[in-house]
């Protein structure tokens, strides 16, 4: 039987789930990875962007051809650029110049208007902090008024959590078949994926432990010494209180911190050992999962997801691996 998708939106979802056998060769236990970079915008946020726009359409919140706007590190923006393009909404992405340029290029290629906001004088390129995020938020609010645009607001929009709870989580559980998962670890940006997927997994595996992942330099929820908040992981680790985390603390068993070095090493190992070409937050998840298997969860099954593709980081130091 043939099946031809009517457009790229129909290809969002149903990503592969794989066992990282070679990445875990020196430890006891398993890591299962859901490859969310198998999406048209190369990130997990395509799923969320589709859910958010369709939910707004169903609720009558979004008018025909109304401009849509969002503050983004580039992942949600790329998902929205695709969804809005195909559904006929003009889309404005507001992003910090601290994020990698590939993200802006992709959004523009998909027809978005891309507004880049200069970083705070205290910040460094490639390391987006809460001060940078504040500047992007300020600009987004101004443009929302100017264009009378529909603001997505991924940090508070319930669809951020619902996508994990009703779509990504159930898809993973179905793919797992008889395999039971003991822990889920997830790097947090808005915390939407972490909380949504945790909600879904806790129904299927009542004893599962769910851990948020934070940069060691931006450990907002981890009980360790606070630092300047600068780190390389794009899309999260903003060192700020998060609505979804605050409202769902009972679901969370703790937080794991990862350093820039651990993240880079893990991301490169994913490529070398598993041929998974991913971004820094994927390395953060993989590094945190390995810490669990080396510690209290020796011999257990840990689930992670791979949020985006390494091709969005070619301009960063992540792939500075050629002999000079």
Ligand X SMILES: Cc1ncc(COP(=O)(O)O)c(C=O)c1O
CA separation for the pair 79, 46 (Å, rounded): 4
Q: Point out the catalytic residue in the list 43, 159, 281, 309.
A: 281
Tokens of 225: 């010494």
CA separation for the pair 284, 281 (Å, rounded): 5
Q: Which of 41, 98, 189, 310 binds ligand X (CB under 6 A)?
A: 189
Q: Which is nearer to ligand X, 29 or 196 (CB)?
A: 196
DSSP code of residue 180: P
Q: Catalytic: 123?
A: no
Site string for ligand X, 267-296 (x = CB under 6 A): ------------x-x---------------
Position 236 contacts ligand X (CB under 6 A): yes
Beta-carbon contacts of 323 under 8 Å, excluding residues fewer than 6 positions away, are none
Chain centre to alpha carbon of residue 269: 19
Q: Which is nearer to ligand X, 29 or 51 (CB)?
A: 51
Position 190 contacts ligand X (CB under 6 A): yes
CA separation for the pair 248, 141 (Å, rounded): 27
- At residue 96, what are phi and psi to the nearest 5 degrees? -70, 145
**What is the total count of residues that contact ligand X (CB under 6 A)?**
20
Minimum distance of ligand X from residue 192's CB (angstroms): 4
Beta-carbon contacts of 59 under 8 Å, excluding residues fewer than 6 positions away, are none
How many Cβ atoms are within 10 Å of 272's Cβ, its own excluded? 12
Position 193 contacts ligand X (CB under 6 A): yes
Q: Which of 235, 269, 289, 306 binds ligand X (CB under 6 A)?
A: 235
Site string for ligand X, 68-107 (x = CB under 6 A): -----x-xx-------------------------------
CA separation for the pair 312, 226 (Å, rounded): 29
Q: Catalytic: 64?
A: no
Residues in touch with ligand X (CB under 6 A): 43, 45, 73, 75-76, 187-194, 234-236, 279, 281, 307-308
**Where in the sequence numbering do the catalytic residues fall?**
45, 281
């Amino acid at each position: 039987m043939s099946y031809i998708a009517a457009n790229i939106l129909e290809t969002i979802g149903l990503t592969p789930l794989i066992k990282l056998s070679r990445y875990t060769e020196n430890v006891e236990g398993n890591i299962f990875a859901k490859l969310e970079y198998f999406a048209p915008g190369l990130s997990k946020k395509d799923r969320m962007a589709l859910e958010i726009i369709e939910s707004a359409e169903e609720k009558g919140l979004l008018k025909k051809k109304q401009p849509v706007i969002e503050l983004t590190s580039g992942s949600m923006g790329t998902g929205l650029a695709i969804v809005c393009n195909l559904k006929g909404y003009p889309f404005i992405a507001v992003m910090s110049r601290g994020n990698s340029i590939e993200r802006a290029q992709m959004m523009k290629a998909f027809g978005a208007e891309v507004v880049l906001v200069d970083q705070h004088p205290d910040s460094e390129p490639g390391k987006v902090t809460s001060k940078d995020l504040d500047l992007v938020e300020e600009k987004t609010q101004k443009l929302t008024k100017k264009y009378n645009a529909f603001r997505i607001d991924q940090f508070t929009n319930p669809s951020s959590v619902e996508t994990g709870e009703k779509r990504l989580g159930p898809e993973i559980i179905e793919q797992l078949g008889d395999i039971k998962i003991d822990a889920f670890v997830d790097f947090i940006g808005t915390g939407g994926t972490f909380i949504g997927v945790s909600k879904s997994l806790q129904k299927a595996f009542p004893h599962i432990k769910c851990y948020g992942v934070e940069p060691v330099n931006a450990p907002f929820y981890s009980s360790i010494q606070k630092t300047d908040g600068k780190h390389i992981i794009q899309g999260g680790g903003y060192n700020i209180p998060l609505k979804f985390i605050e409202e769902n603390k009972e679901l969370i068993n703790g937080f794991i911190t990862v350093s820039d070095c651990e993240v880079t090493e893990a991301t490169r190992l994913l490529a070398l050992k598993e041929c998974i070409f991913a971004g820094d937050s994927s390395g953060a998840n993989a590094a945190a999962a390995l810490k669990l298997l080396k510690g209290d969860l020796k011999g257990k099954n840990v689930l992670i997801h791979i949020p985006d593709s390494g091709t969005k980081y070619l301009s960063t130091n992540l792939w500075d691996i050629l002999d000079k």
